[in-house]
Amino acid sequence: MPVTTLDRDETQAAEVVGRADAPRALPLRLAVPAAVLAGLAMLLAFPPYGMWPLAPVGVALLGAAAHRRRLRAGAGLGFLTGVALFAPMLEWTNLHTGYLPWVLLSLLQAGYLALLGVATAWVSPLVDRRRWAWPVVTGLLWVAQEALRDRTPFGGFPWGRLAFSQDTSPLLRLAWLGGAPLVTFAVALTGGLLLAAGWRRWPGRDRRGWAPVALLVASALALTGGALLVPTGAAGTGRTVTVAVVQGNVPRLGLDFNAQRQAVLNNHVDATLELAAGVAAGTRPRPDLVVWPENSSDIDPLRNAVAGERISQAADAIGAPILVGAVLLGPDRGQVRNAGILWRPGTGADLSQLYTKRHPVPFAEYVPLRTIARMVSKQVDLVRNDFVPGERPGVVRSGPAVLGDVICFEVAYDGLVRDTVDGGAQLLVVQTNNATFDVAEARQQLAMVRLRAVEHGRGALMASTVGVSGFVTPDGRVSGATGFNTRAVVLRQMALADGRTPATRAGVWPELALAGLAVAVLVAAGGLRRARRREVDAGR
């Protein structure tokens, strides 16, 4: 066979490690398909597919593809994995805005997996020397990659974290201990165990040689099954509240759903009035609290008397406060706010209990670097007014319960949800509008709500304009889930909690610790590579 550039690169890599018997990298003809399959395997782990065991398989495949590669090759293979994962996962972003935003976002997210591929290649000498550390190193690198992706640029985009693929997995319970970072670490650690098992020379008929392989596979299974022993929930108040979620639906899906703003508001008012009629007739229980979704009133009810009167009509009829998702004008000209505002029966809007979304979505709710962005696509001008962020956590004291309100994509950000619990939230509420997306996006978002419920030991709910809406217990079970693009009103009794889980108490520290260890591993690998290079140079 002719000697290729890749062969020479891997020979040089072997020299750096300094072990003649060190395993070679996968041939490129196997590494490229492995990288693509890694992305597809992880994709299938997420809703709506829900094949969660494939997440660690994907981690293992990417680790095998990038191991002992040159850094550029590791970047390329990681990028392939990222494209295979994010391009189909984020397809819902092109339903109504065209291909360009979808392509740019997918490529940006794939770039972080390219960095992971570089890091995986970089630590190869270290894990070859300390093979027992390979699974742990794999877990640390994944947490560090997600920590970076969750924060950069413009506040980050945490969609597609490994933790969010585990909504029906035993590993979800680990969120009670350390939140999403610990779940991601466990998934990647499991993948690292599979990788270490698969990379070994198969012993054939030598039964004793199978022992290490069996031990690694058994450790992966034990880690997954052992997570079932982790408790869930937090200390409760002993009280329950009956909550109604109103999913009013929209006249039509797409970006122009708000061209029918009055119709959307009327849908939610009418559905609430129907519920009130059922309560009066004795066919439905009276709720203590009603939750409407994000954008249920895109007409500012504080400035538009007709809109305000319609919401008051609904609140008075049902006899319970309504958490309304509203678009509010101001504070300055050309600015708007995405808010959750409590509307009380008899008195109307309670301005002391108003939450303004703290993390507006860049290029969707506001346009950073607008002049430059317009050079890339004129579609940025569809965002006519920039949403301004709020400054306070979404702690809403409704009377029946203290709510932890987050709006739409905010549920993906650890700190935004945790702040509401630290502020006294007894029940988590996610107001969202999925009218511009599809059912896959809605189910992915509901998976995040499930993780947050376990993480903080709180009952949680998601209220969507079009679906999927539903309730989640503190152990992550879903009830009352609605269909997509339908009108529905769902009621559930929910227990209130005021205790704090280990994850809530620990806050960001588990992620900082794991990411810090990842940096230490990268530094140690760099030192080993330099030492081996000096040895090779001295030998010449």
Q: Which of the residues are catalytic?
A: 294, 357, 408
CA 68/CA 532 separation, integer angstroms = 14
Straight-line distance from the first to the last Cα atom of the chain, in angstroms, rounded to the nearest whole number: 27
Q: Using DSSP, state whether 364 is helix, strand or coil.
A: coil
Backbone angles phi, psi at 469, to 5 degrees: -105, 160
Backbone angles phi, psi at 468, to 5 degrees: -90, 130
CA 127/CA 148 separation, integer angstroms = 23
Neighbour tally for 137: CB within 10 Å: 26
Which residue matches tokens 């065991």? 53
What is the 3-state secondary structure of 32-54?
HHHHHHHHHHHHHHCCCCCCCCH
CA 135/CA 193 separation, integer angstroms = 5
Judge contact between 436 and 253, C-beta under 8 A.
yes
What's the CA dihedral at 92, 98, 99, 104 to 10 degrees?
Answer: -80
CA 344/CA 86 separation, integer angstroms = 42
Q: Using DSSP, state whether 438 is helix, strand or coil.
A: coil
Please give the distance of CA 323 from its chain centroid, rounded to a whole number.
Answer: 24
- Report CA-CA distances (Å) from 499 to 20, 232, 242, 402, 426: 56, 12, 20, 13, 9
Strands 236-247 and 289-291: parallel
Residue type, 181: P
